[in-house]
A = this chain, B = another copy of it.
Amino acid sequence: MDAMKTYDIFKSISPLTEDSWIDLQSLFEPLDLKRNEYLVREGSRVSYCYILLDGVVRVFYNKEGNEYNKTFFIPGMFPTPLTALLSDAPSRLSFQALLPSKLIRFSYKGFRELFSKHQCLESFMLRVLEREWINKERHDIQMVTNDATTNYLIFRDEYPGLENQIPQYHIASYLGITPIQLSRIRAQLAKS
């Protein structure tokens, strides 16, 4: 069932041959995380790609003790330290499960080594980066041009129900404001 679900996720991104899927699948390892456990810690070396099947993961960076939430991952997304993998450098980002989460992980190196055998996997990787790029740009434009109230409303739309499952200070950090300011915004919205 998980395998099927994963296959659907992959297929929806870029077509894969049956052979390539078999080889790729042989790299898969299930991974279960408790609430607040980490997939990746800042400063660590990384070697895996991740697929989130259940739960929620946040990615954040840390500067002088302050955490800045960059985004949240929900099932079907890839909470993967792309930059660290691509540049083969320690991760500047941390990935943490905010709820009990179910994932699959697979070796990035192993994946990459399949490129020469399966051209469709390199095309797949290109397609993944294209999608990430498009999404990031849309997200960035949103965050810069809107005020915090608008972005909070968009957050509620994009992650239905999530605001009741995680602490609000995580949402505030994601919006680039303090929890107090988010509280004021919520009070303001409740009035109107």
Contact = CB atoms under 8 A, between A and B. Distances in A.
Copies of this chain per assembly: 2
Dominant SS at the A interface?
helix
A144 B86 contact: no
Interface string A59-83: 0010100101010000000000011
Interface residues of A, number: 28
A145 B61 contact: yes
Interface in A122-167: 122-123, 125-126, 129-130, 132-134, 136-138, 140-141, 144-145
Contacts of A119: 119
A83 B122 contact: no
Contacts of A66: 145
Please give me the 8 A-B residue pairs with the lowest Cβ-Cβ distance, nearest first.
A63-B145, A129-B129, A126-B126, A83-B137, A86-B130, A83-B134, A87-B134, A61-B141
A55 interface: no
B132 A133 contact: yes
A9 B119 CA distance: 26
B86 A145 contact: no
Given A82-B137, A86-B134, 14 more contacts: A61-B144, A61-B145, A63-B145, A66-B145, A68-B145, A70-B140, A82-B133, A83-B134, A86-B133, A87-B134, A119-B119, A129-B133, A140-B140, A144-B176
